[in-house]
């Protein structure tokens, strides 16, 4: 049985490991960066097309082509400038000389990034164990409901109340995620289907709860729950004028824990083995079913943390929109972060920035464009062959796209 692949023989040593690893990481980072840049470039074209002045001037393009380019450039520049102002640093507000003027945009980016990081870690860790958790939305909602309920219904001393509410949120998310894991382990039901369905259950459960007295805040009639006790709220990090809260620290801590789990722990070894080759894991005596349940409990708890940071931090009362698309953006974040905790933190910050910048961008371009750009980034990352073709990079290693496809089959 000769294989066509030539084997490494003593005469043809494989390249040195250090070099090889570095180049692979570099390659991944490069493709990711280029995906982002390409998405921005295509976004720029769309901004120009969406700009009325540019379109109008195009009608006399033959006479004054300069106008088209000037208007297009202006629209693109202003839009991306607004994105930067909203997400990183805004010289207009900074000139007020206040702290919020300087740090307001960063605070917004961090606030938006907080649940995205937690959610991205959730999707990423499931990914590493071979599961595709699309149930972030439902798990975030249930986590938020648990945390929010403990937050407004119980009245405990400062400190203890916060811990109780956070733990409740983690448990809520874990239960919702673990349910999908249990269904997969016991019956083989595909997690993609069960998590999507559990999303619907969670959304509608939330809708129902928000109409129930005792849950709903007076004056009744609005779909908003009782506000969370101040004792149970996550402390603000930069004073009352800025929204960034201690949820950020929890998300970062979660990233560290997940990194440790995947790199140095026994459990992580098992989860990774199950994710990479369930047949070999089973042959080596690992329980694949148990691993599915465990990783979905962890993944759900991390989504629960995203819910916690929403309901105890950013917006301290449960509303119908408590998830605000985080559950699905988390998939994007995990993809962009290559299911790696460090990468996920950066991807979360990037997407937090895009979310923070989009309100200011609306003055220059339709808000939908931000989402289009996000979608394009993911598109290019999921199909790295496109980026490699555009920039004529050599193929190497496996793509996250391939991993994603495997996740679907698993």
Binding site for other proteins (CB under 8 A): 1-17, 20-21, 264-270, 272-273, 276-277, 279-287, 398
CB of 32 to other proteins, least distance (A): 19
Nearest 5°: the CA angle 116, 139, 105 is 20
CB of 237 to other proteins, least distance (A): 31
Cα–Cα distance, 353 to 248 (Å, whole number): 14
Cβ-based neighbours of 29, under 8 Å, separated by 6 or more: none
CA contacts within 13 A on the Cβ side of 266: 1
State residue 216 phi and psi, 5-degree precision: -70, 145
Decide whether 95 or 265 has the Cβ nearer to other proteins. 265
Cα–Cα distance, 382 to 212 (Å, whole number): 42
Decide whether 99 or 402 has the Cβ nearer to other proteins. 402
CB of 305 to other proteins, least distance (A): 20
Decide whether 92 or 187 has the Cβ nearer to other proteins. 187
Decide whether 89 or 269 has the Cβ nearer to other proteins. 269
| Per-residue CA distances from 28 to 112, 120, 206, 212, 330 (Å) | 25, 18, 40, 49, 20
Cα–Cα distance, 252 to 356 (Å, whole number): 19
CB of 149 to other proteins, least distance (A): 32
Decide whether 78 or 128 has the Cβ nearer to other proteins. 128
The torsion angle over the Cα atoms of residues 400, 401, 405 and 410, rounded to 10 degrees, is 10
CB of 402 to other proteins, least distance (A): 11
Cβ-based neighbours of 371, under 8 Å, separated by 6 or more: none
Decide whether 123 or 281 has the Cβ nearer to other proteins. 281
Decide whether 18 or 363 has the Cβ nearer to other proteins. 18
CA contacts within 13 A on the Cβ side of 294: 18
Q: Which residues of 147-173 are buried (b: 16+ CB within 10 A; e: fewer)?
A: bbbbbbeeebeeeebbebbbbbbbbbb
CB of 260 to other proteins, least distance (A): 8
β-pairing verdict for 317-319 and 224-227? antiparallel
Q: Which residues of 351-376 are buried (b: 16+ CB within 10 A; e: fewer)?
A: bbbbbbbbebbeebbeeebbebbbeb
CB of 265 to other proteins, least distance (A): 6
Cα–Cα distance, 2 to 51 (Å, whole number): 61
CB of 338 to other proteins, least distance (A): 14
CB of 6 to other proteins, least distance (A): 4
Cβ-based neighbours of 162, under 8 Å, separated by 6 or more: 231, 232, 233, 234, 312
Q: Which two tokens stand for residue 128?
A: 């590493």
State residue 318 phi and psi, 5-degree precision: -70, 130
Query: Using omega within 30 degrees of 0 as the cis cutoff, is the peptide bond preceding 219 cis?
Result: yes
Decide whether 45 or 280 has the Cβ nearer to other proteins. 280
Cα–Cα distance, 154 to 146 (Å, whole number): 11
Decide whether 151 or 341 has the Cβ nearer to other proteins. 341
Decide whether 87 or 258 has the Cβ nearer to other proteins. 258
CB of 282 to other proteins, least distance (A): 7
CB of 308 to other proteins, least distance (A): 24
| Per-residue CA distances from 363 to 65, 92, 180 (Å) | 25, 15, 42
Decide whether 39 or 281 has the Cβ nearer to other proteins. 281
């Amino acid at each position: 049985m000769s294989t066509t692949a030539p084997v490494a023989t003593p005469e043809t040593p494989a390249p040195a490991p250090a070099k090889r690893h570095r180049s692979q990481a570099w390659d991944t980072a490069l493709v990711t960066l280029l995906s982002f840049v390409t998405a921005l470039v295509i976004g720029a074209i769309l901004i120009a097309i969406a700009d009325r002045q540019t379109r109008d001037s195009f009608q006399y393009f033959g006479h004054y082509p300069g106008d088209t380019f000037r208007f297009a450039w202006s629209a693109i520049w202003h839009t991306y400038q607004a994105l930067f102002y909203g997400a990183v640093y805004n010289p207009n507000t900074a000139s007020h000389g206040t702290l919020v003027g300087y740090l307001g945009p960063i605070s917004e980016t961090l606030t938006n990034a907080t649940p995205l990081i937690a959610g991205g870690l959730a999707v990423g860790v499931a990914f590493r164990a071979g599961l595709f958790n699309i149930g972030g939305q439902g798990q975030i909602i249930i986590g938020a409901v648990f945390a929010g309920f403990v937050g407004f219904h119980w009245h405990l001393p400062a400190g203890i109340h916060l811990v109780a509410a956070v733990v409740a949120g983690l448990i809520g998310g874990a239960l919702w995620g673990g349910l999908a894991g249990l269904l997969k382990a016991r019956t083989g039901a595909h997690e993609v289907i069960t998590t999507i369905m559990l999303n619907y259950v969670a959304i509608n459960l939330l809708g129902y709860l928000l109409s129930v007295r005792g849950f709903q805040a007076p004056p009744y009639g609005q779909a908003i729950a009782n506000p969370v006790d101040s004792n149970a709220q996550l402390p603000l990090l930069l004073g009352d004028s800025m929204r960034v809260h201690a949820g950020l620290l929890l998300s970062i801590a979660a990233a560290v824990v997940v990194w440790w789990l995947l790199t140095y722990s026994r459990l992580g070894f098992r989860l990774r083995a199950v994710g990479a080759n369930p047949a070999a894991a089973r042959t080596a005596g690992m329980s694949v079913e148990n691993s599915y349940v465990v990783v979905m409990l962890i993944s759900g708890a991390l989504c629960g943390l995203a819910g916690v940071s929403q309901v105890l931090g950013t917006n301290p009362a449960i509303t119908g929109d408590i998830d605000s698309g985080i559950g699905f953006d988390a998939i994007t974040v995990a993809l962009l972060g290559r299911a790696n905790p460090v990468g996920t933190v950066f991807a979360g910050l990037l997407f937090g920035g895009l979310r923070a910048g989009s309100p200011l961008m609306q003055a220059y371009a339709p808000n939908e464009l931000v989402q289009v750009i996000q979608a394009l980034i993911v598109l290019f990352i999921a199909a790295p062959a496109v980026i490699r073709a555009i920039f004529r990079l050599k193929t190497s290693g496996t793509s996250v796209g391939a991993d994603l496809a495997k996740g679907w089959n698993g």
